[in-house]
Amino acid sequence: MEKERYDLTGSLLEWYDYNKRILPWRENKDPYRIWISEIMLQQTRVEAVKPYFDRFMEALPEVEDLANVDDDRLMKLWEGLGYYNRARNLKAAANKVMEEYGGKIPGDYDALLSLNGIGAYTAGAIGSIAFDLQVPAVDGNVMRVLARIWGDESDILKEKTKREMGKRISAYIPKDRPGDFNQALIELGAIVCVPNGKPLCDQCPWDTICKAYKEDKIDQLPVKTPKKSRKIEYKTVFLLETDDMVALHKRGQKGLLAGLWEFPNLSCRMDMESINEQVKNWGIQADQMEPAGKGKHIFSHIEWHMEGVKIHLEKEQPLEDFQWVTKKSLENQYALPSAFEIFRKLL
Ligand code: ADE
């Protein structure tokens, strides 16, 4: 075991020291920065996260700023990253840190786990990177690497597999560099043992250890049972506009995209006749109506297939459930989910 541990841990850390990317959240061990980066990285690639991360840190440099931020501003900072509940959880957790931990992010694994939006992976990442705790941080990318090196055919979409891999890899986490070890595994998954396409096995520090490589099973691992197919929801999206204003609707406080602004829409396909009918029901006078764009947006469990219609009014007219805002304010004030981006461009 000792020799195996040296081979596995030592070769990985040596590889990491030469190959790690310079990233803004690796500049220091500030737990706040590491926490924010980990939450952002759960949804998007490293390159895409960088500008969001820099902007977020400039706007909200301390936990206290996050705890006090206005909800609309927070949504604006998160706009485009998706999964807005993650941003809401960040703020709720920041409040908890202010109230229960005197404004300091706790350096204890269970305390981290008790914060909103922090699960086993994130607690492991923050705990090991910021506080040198010898705990694993196993996400989908790390599971891919581990399934391959161990030739493990367990289904990596199962929570049980994640727990078991976490336990097994824990034996290799070194006392002096737990955060580097976990980040090295993540890095290996991101740049060598890649998810799509052929992994770069000739550059892997574990090429002599890797079971899948030795047994020519790279293509078969990791095992993932197919997910249930997503439900499709058709939508008609209304771009109700004047020359410089547009009508928005605020979504309810529960469910998908809760509390966010959107263009008014109905969950059905509509022909021009039923659109006319709807316009009449709203009691508005349109001076022009035309189809405007089509879009598809994929969430984890549902797909929206959307068709837009642009309805021009000479002047804003009162609408019960909608609010007129300037088109300009969509740029800096109202956060629109990226599902609606293609329609915003048509205003
Ligand atoms: N993905 C998740 N966590 C990461 C980290 N700390 N560095 C780079 N990519 C990551």
Residues 287-303: tens digit of each pLDDT: 999 999 999 999 989 99
The pLDDT, as a whole number, for residue 231 is: 95
Distance 327 CA to ligand 1 centre (A): 36
Distance 23 CA to ligand 1 centre (A): 9
Nearest Cα to Cα of residue 60 among 40, 85, 46, 41:
40
Does 186 contact ligand 1 (Cβ within 6 A)? yes
Cα separation, 26 vs 11, whole angstroms: 21
Does 38 contact ligand 1 (Cβ within 6 A)? yes
Strands 302-312 and 231-241, sheet pairing: parallel
Where residue 1 falls among pLDDT bands split at 50, 70, 90? Answer: low
Write the residue with the smallest CA distance to atom 3 of ligand 1: 38
Kindly report, residue by residue over 230-242, the tens digit of the pLDDT. 999 999 999 999 9
Does 46 contact ligand 1 (Cβ within 6 A)? yes
Region 316-345: mean pLDDT is: 93
Reduced to 3 states (helix: H, G, I; strand: E, B; else coil), residue 174 is: coil
Token pair belonging to 191: 């740049």
Does 339 contact ligand 1 (Cβ within 6 A)? no
Catalytic residue list: 38
167 pLDDT above the threshold of 90: yes
Beta bridge partners of 197: none
- Closest ligand 1 atom, CA of 21? 8
**Residues 240, 322: contact at Cβ < 8 Å?**
yes
* Range with the poorest average pLDDT among 166-175, 192-201, 226-235: 226-235
Beta bridge partners of 294: 307
Distance 155 CA to ligand 1 centre (A): 23
